[in-house]
Amino acid sequence: MKTKPVSHKTENTYRFLTFAERLGNVNIDIIHRIDRTASYEEEVETYFFEGLLKWRELNLTEHFGKFYKEVIDKCQSFNQLVYHQNEIVQSLKTHLQVKNSFAYQPLLDLVVQLARDLQTDFYPHFPEFFLTITSILETQDTELLEWAFTSLSYLYKYLWRLMVKDMSNIYSMYSTLLAHKKLHIRNFAAESFTFLMRKV
């Protein structure tokens, strides 16, 4: 007689989920999510600055604190953000490349907020961010995988009008993930790429 698989949570006991089970719980379907960033108040100059303040309260790590100090005086208005965009981009890339960082989640979110603010001005930086973000995918940390692919998916959401005019380059970059040796990365890549393909 076959026994039922043990649930990850029973009445009085817990067990650790396997990597495969945790992967199964990851959701990067941004298309049907409520756009949380739409709730910003009208007087907020930039999504990036608002996000920076939010994450300063939520992430008190030394890793994020260093990034915060580098950019806080360069993004308090839209004009400031545009003027200092190259410095902010460089700071984001540098801190995303820190091994075992405790600031990956806020940094990945702030890449998206910067893209949302700058739009066309951000697009030339997209290939660099794509390489930076995908370089951290070789991990068994399912939360980090979800943050990375969610970040890429939101970048597609905000930049798709520019991307559909540049599909050969975009596909060339993304094909490395679609052909990745790890099945879960191929699956996540296909799922996050679906939105853009629908637009094409």
Q: In the predicted model, what is the mean pLDDT of residues 80-97?
A: 96
At a CB cut-off of 8 Å and minimum separation 6, what does 171 contact? none
> Within 10 Å of residue 76's Cβ, how many Cβ atoms?
16
What is residue 6's predicted lDDT score, i.e. its pLDDT?
A: 43
At a CB cut-off of 8 Å and minimum separation 6, what does 92 contact? 67, 107, 110, 111, 114, 129
Q: Under a CB-based contact definition with an 8 Å cutoff, are residues 64 and 55 in contact?
A: yes
Q: Report residue 135's pLDDT band, with 50, 70 and 90 as the boundaries.
A: confident
pLDDT at 4 over 90: no
Of 29 and 176, the structure prediction assigns the larger pLDDT to 176
Domains of the chain and CATH, by start? 44-198 (1.25.10)
pLDDT at 34 over 60: no
Q: In the predicted model, what is the mean pLDDT of residues 61-89?
A: 95
The most confident of the ranges 39-53, 78-92, 136-150, 185-199 is: 78-92
What is residue 190's predicted lDDT score, i.e. its pLDDT?
A: 82
Please tell me the distance from the alpha carbon of residue 148 to that of residue 154, in angstroms, as a whole number.
10
Of 168 and 37, the structure prediction assigns the larger pLDDT to 168
Please tell me the distance from the alpha carbon of residue 111 to that of residue 156, in angstroms, as a whole number.
12
